[in-house]
Structure 1
Amino acid sequence: MDITMVGIDYTDAGLDIRGKFSYTKREQEKTITALRKKEGISGCILLSTCNRTELVLSRTREWEREERSLFCELKGQSVEEYGSYLHLRRGMDAVKDLFALAGGLKSQILGEDQILTQMKDAADFSRKFFGTDKILETLFRMAVTAGKEIKTNINLPASNRSAPLAAISGLEQKGAAFKGERCLVIGNGAMGRLTAQLLLDRGADVTVTIRQYRSGIVDVPVEAARIEYSKRYEKLPECRYVFSATASPNTTITADKLDACALQENTVFVDLAVPRDIEEAVGGMDGVTLYDIDDFGVELPEETKQSLAQARQLLEAKAAEFERWYDAKDVVPMLLTISGQASEDVIARIDKKLRKSVPEQQDAVEDMVSTAVQKVVNKLMFAVRDSVDVSTFRECVDAMRELYEEETAR
C-alpha cells in the first residue's frame, strides 16, 4: 500500500518545535503545488493545526525519497536536527492513524470537534490545487465519515472539546473565576471568537482586537467590545486575563513592550496559537503567568473507557473497509463491465416477451431492467468482497468475467 503519513504533533515535540513546521494557507498552496510536480507523488494532503502538521502522500513506484527529509526540506529545516521529532507511518499504519485522528482519539483533547472540519478543509484545499488523487480522496472521505459516526453514536467526553475551552476550563480548575473580570482576546478568527464567547458565557467583560483594515467585516460576539489591534498594549493594564489566538506568524505580545505597561498583579497570559503569539520571555516577567496550549490537557475519566473501546473498534472496522477497497480498487472497472454484460444478458432473454407484451414501452422497460440488474449484480459482488479475502474475491470476479467472455466467443 503506497500511502505514507509523516508529521509532527504535540506528543512528538513542544510548541516551539512544532511552530517551525506550521503552515499558513499561502505556504500550503505553494507546498501542494510543488509536491504534485515531484516524480513518484500521485497525491498529497497537508494538514496543519495548532497541535500537529501531517503530510499524507499517495506514492507511485517511482518514489525514492525519504519522507522525513522531504518534510524538513519543505520548511527549510535540517532532518539531522529535527528528524527525531517526526513520526513516519506507512501503509495500513498510516491509514489507521488517520482514522484515529478523525475519530478524535489522537487529539490532545479527546474527542474534540475541530479535527473533522480541519481534515475536510485540508482535503478540499489540496483538491483546489489539484493535489489529491482517488486514493487520498477516498481515504479522507472514509476517515471523516467514520469520525462523524463516532461523534453521533458514541458518547466520548462532551466537555473540553476545543483548545479555548480546555484552556479556560483548566484555568478554572486552578481557581480562576472570570465573572466580572476584564479580559482581552487578541485575534478575531474562529479561535478568537470562540474564546471571547466562552468568556462572555462566564460573565467576563471581554474586549476583542480587530485589524483596522478589516474593521468593516469582522464577526465577533455582539456583547464584546472592540479595539484596534494596534491599541492592545494600551488595553493591557485594565485586564486580568489576556488570550492570544491569531494565525499570524509574528508575535502579538513581546516582553520589551510589555515591560512598559503597568500591568495588574498576577496578570495571566494564555497563548492559544501555533507558532507562538506571545514571546516566551513574557513568562519570566514578575507578576505574570504565561500558559500555552501544551499546558492544558485533559485526563481521561474512568467512565469513558468503554466508549473509547467502542470508538477504537469502529475505527478498526472502518480502516479494514478502506483496506478492502484499496486492495480491490483495480477490480471495480471489471465489476462494472460484468454488471453491464449481465444486464445485456437479461434483456436478450426477455426481449421477445417485451415486444409482445409492452411493445410501445419496450425501450423504457429495458432501461429499467438494465439498471436494476446492474445494481443487483454490483450489490451482490460488493457483498462478496466484504465477506471474503481479496484473493477469493478476485477468483469470483475472474470466474464471472470468463463466463461472459466464453459466451461472447460463441
Structure 2
Amino acid sequence: MAFIALGINHKTASVDVRERVAFTPEQLVDALQQLCRITPSREAAILSTCNRSELYLEQDHPSTDEVLAWLAGYHNLSLEELRACAYVHQDDAAVRHMMRVASGLDSMVLGEPQILGQMKSAYAVAREAGTVGPLLGRLFQATFSTAKTVRTDTAIGENPVSVAFAAVSLARQIFSDLHRSQALLIGAGETITLVARHLHEQGVKRIVVANRTLERASILAEEFGAHAVLLADMPQELVNSDIVISSTASQLPILGKGAVERALKQRRHKPIFMVDIAVPRDIEPEVGELDDVYLYTVDDLHEVVAENLKSRQGAAQAAEELVGAGVDDFMQRLRELAAVDVLRAYRQQAERLRDDELAKAQRMLQNGTCAEEVLAILARGLTNKLMHAPSVQLKKLSADGRFDALAVAQELFALDEGSDKRSQ
C-alpha cells in the first residue's frame, strides 16, 4: 500500500503549463475513472485550481511513471515537459503535502481559505466517480480535520493579505454594522470585483458600481445584486455612500475635494470612509484634509497587508507543527488498521482450528471415550495446531539468520527469560 501526491503548482510551472494541465469540471469524472483503469492506482482524486493540478492516489506499490505518462497523454504534453515541473510525494510525505495544501501552507497567498473548499470538492467528485475507497477516504477525512484544527488553533487565516480584503477590513473597523452601510465602488476591474465580493460576503445590502462604461459596471453589479451607474452620476450617489472604494486606470483624479465637500453638507457631516487603491490616485489627496472623511491610500493598505502577512508567517510555524501531529496521528492509525486486518485473519484461522478440534472431541465423546481423556486430547491437539505454523516459520527465520524477527517474536508472544523461573 502506498499513498502518492503528484502534480504541478505555481512554484514549479508557468501559467501556460498550468493552464494546459488543468482539468475542467466536466472532465473530472471521466479522467478519474480512466486514471484508475489505465494506471496501477486503486483509488484516486484530482484537485485542479488556477494554481495547481494534483493527483492523490493509493496504489499497492509506488508506480509513478505510468501516472506521469497518463497525465502527459491526457493533456497532450510531452512527458519530458511534464517531468521538468512535476513533483511526487509518497506515503507520509504525501500525507504531509495534502495536509499542508488544505491548511493553506502551500498556497500562493499564505493561509488563504479557499483551497480547503476546493479540496472538499475534489473529494466529493472522486466519490461521485467511485474512485475513492476506504484508504484515500480516511486520508481526506484526516486532512480536513487537521486543516480545521489549523484554522481554529492558529491565526494563519485571520488577517487580510490582499489589498481588496484589507480595504473591506478597515471599513469593518470604522462601521460596526456594515449591513446598514451603502458602498460606492469606482471602477469595474479585478480589484473592485474582489472588493465587491468581500463587501457582499460581509452583508452590505446596497452597493453601487460607477464606471466609464455602463456595460462593464452592469456585468459586475449583476453578479452581486448591485446597482450600476456612470462616473457622471457619482455626485448623486456620493451623498448616500458611507464607503467609497476606487480603483480605475485614470491618469487624473476623478473625485475632487469640492464634490466630497458638497456631499458631506448634504449628509449633515455623517462620516465617509474612502480608500483609493489606484495608482495614479483617483481621489484628490486634499480630500483627506476634510473633517468627517477617513481617506486611505494604497500605501496605507500595503502596510496593513505587510503587517498581516508577517503575522501569518509567525502563525505558519504553529500550523506546521499541527500538520506534523496530524501526519503522525494518521500514519499511526493506518498502522493500527493494518494490525487489525492481521489480527482478524489470525483469529479466523484460530477459530477454524478450534472448531476442527472441537468436532473431533465431540465425536470421541459420542463413541464413549472418557471425558477426561477427550479434554486432554482436545487441549493437546489445539495447542499443537496453534503452535505448528509459528514453529515452522520461526525455525525458517532462524535458519536464514533473521535474528531480528526472532526478537520481534519474543516481544509479540510476550516471552521473557524469567517467566519459567517465576512459574516454578
What TM-score results when the alignment is normalised by the length of structure 1?
A: 0.55
Please state whether the residue corresponding to 2:50 is helix, strand or coil. coil
Say if 2:5 and 2:89, in contact at 8 Å, map to a contact too.
Answer: yes
Consecutive unaligned residues of structure 1, counting only runs of 5 or more, are 173-178, 211-217, 228-234, 243-262, 268-286, 288-296, 342-390, 401-410
1: distance between equivalents of 2:49 and 2:342? Answer: 41
- Which residue of structure 2 aligns with residue 321 of structure 1? 329
- 2:139 alignment counterpart: 139
Preserved CA contact (<8 Å) 1:150 1:311: yes
User: Which among 280, 296, 320 is matched to residue 312 of structure 1?
Assistant: 320
Whichever structure has more helix as a proportion of its residues is 2
Paired position in structure 2 for 1:225? 227
- Residue of structure 2 equivalent to 1:347: none
Aligned to 1:209: 219
Rounded to whole Å, the distance in 2 between the matches of 1:31 and 1:329 is 30
Contact 1:7 1:52 in 2 (8 A): yes
The residue matched to 1:37 in structure 2 has which SS?
helix
Displacement of 1:327: 2.8
Gaps of 5+ in 2: 169-182, 210-216, 235-245, 254-279, 281-304, 351-404, 415-424
Closer/same/farther in 2, CA of residues 42 and 155 from structure 1, 3 Å limit: same
The equivalent of 1:17 in structure 2 is 17
Aligned to 1:27: 27
**Are 1:197 and 2:193 matched, yes or no?**
no
2:188 counterpart residue number: 184
Residue pairs, 1:115-134, within 5 angstroms? 115-134=115-134
Residue-by-residue CA offset, 1:308-347 (whole Å, 9 max, x unaligned) = 2221111101101121223332222455689999xxxxxx
Q: Distance in 2 between matches of 1:171 and 1:306?
A: 22
Distance in 1 separating the partners of 2:88 and 2:132: 20
Aligned to 1:332: 340
Distance of aligned partners of 1:40 and 1:195 in 2 relative to their CA distance in 1, 3 Å threshold: same
Q: Which moved more, 1:195-204 or 1:109-118?
A: 195-204
Aligned to 1:84: 84
Tell me: CA distance 1:204–1:66, structure 2 relative to 1, closer, same or farther (3 Å).
same
The Cα shift of 1:221 comes to: 3.1
Question: How has the CA–CA distance of structure 1 residues 264 and 142 changed in structure 2, closer, same or farther, with 3 Å as cutoff?
Answer: same
Letter in structure 2 aligned against 1:225: H
| Contact kept in structure 2, 1:8 and 1:87, CA below 8 Å | yes
Give a deviation string over 1:279-314, Cα, whole Å, max 9, x none.
xxxxxxxx9xxxxxxxxx978744445432221111
Q: Please give the alpha-carbon distance, in whole angstroms, between the structure 2 residues aligned to 1:89 and 1:8.
A: 12
Contact 2:102 2:116 in 1 (8 A): yes
Shift of 1:17: 2.4
- State whether residues 110 and 298 of structure 1, in contact with CA within 8 Å, keep that contact through their aligned partners in structure 2: no
Aligned-pair distance for 1:128? 0.5
1:50 partner SS: coil
What is the rounded CA distance, in whole Å, between the counterparts of 1:204 and 1:396 in structure 2?
A: 74
Paired residue secondary structure (1:13): coil
1:136 deviates by 1.0
The amino acid across from 2:158 in the alignment is A
CA contact (8 A) 2:159 2:308 kept: no
Q: Deviations for 1:382-409, whole angstroms, at most 9, x for unmatched residues?
A: xxxxxxxxx9xx9799659xxxxxxxxx
Aligned counterparts, 1:48-87, within 5 A: 48-61=48-61, 63=63, 65-87=65-87
Q: 1:193 to 1:76 in 2, by over 3 A?
A: farther
State the Cα distance separating 1:98 from its structure 2 match: 0.9
* Structure 2 CA distance for partners of 1:309 and 1:26, relative to 1, 3 Å: same
Matches of 1:266 and 1:86 in 2, distance apart?
Answer: 46
Q: Larger deviation: 324-333 or 146-155?
A: 324-333
CA contact (8 A) 2:164 2:195 kept: no
Given the two structures, how large is their TM-score scaled by the length of structure 2? 0.53
Pairwise CA distance, 1:185: 6.5
Q: Is the Cα–Cα contact under 8 Å of residues 44 and 136 in structure 1 kept in the other structure?
A: yes
CA deviation after TM superposition for structure 1 residue 134, in Å: 1.6
- Distance 1:198-1:221 versus aligned 2 partners, 3 A rule: same
* Residues 247-283 of structure 1, C-alpha deviations (whole Å, 9 max, x = no match): xxxxxxxxxxxxxxxx96589xxxxxxxxxxxxxxxx
Equivalent-residue separation in structure 2 for 1:299 and 1:22 (angstroms)? 34
User: Per-residue deviation at 1:122?
Assistant: 0.6
Structure 1: how far apart are the matches of 2:196 and 2:231? 19
2:5 maps to 1:5:
yes
Counterparts of residues 241-320 of structure 1 (less than 5 Å): 301-320=309-328
CA distance in 2 between counterparts of 1:236 and 1:396 reads 84
Report deviation, 1:181.
Answer: 4.1
Q: Which residue in the other structure is 2:149 paired with? A: 149
Q: Supply the distance in 2 between the matched residues of 1:126 and 1:39 (Cα, whole angstroms).
A: 16
1:83-122 deviations in Å (ceiling 9; x for gaps): 3122222222211111111221111122211111111111
Distance in 1, Cα, partners of 2:40 & 2:50: 29
- Aligned 8 A contact 1:92 1:323 in 2: yes
Q: Which has the higher contact order (CA 8 A, sep 6+)?
A: 1
What does residue 164 of structure 2 align with? 168
**Is 1:101 the equivalent of 2:109?**
no
* Alpha-carbon spacing, 1:221–1:32, altered in 2? closer, same or farther (3 Å): same
Letter in 2 for 1:209: I
Residues 135-161 of structure 1 show CA distances to partners (whole Å, capped at 9, x for unaligned) of 211111101100001111212241237
Q: Distance in 2 between matches of 1:66 and 1:238?
A: 61
Deviates more, 1:323-332 or 1:125-134: 323-332
Q: Secondary structure at the match of 1:142?
A: helix
Do 1:47 and 1:55's aligned partners in 2 also have CA atoms closer than 8 Å?
yes
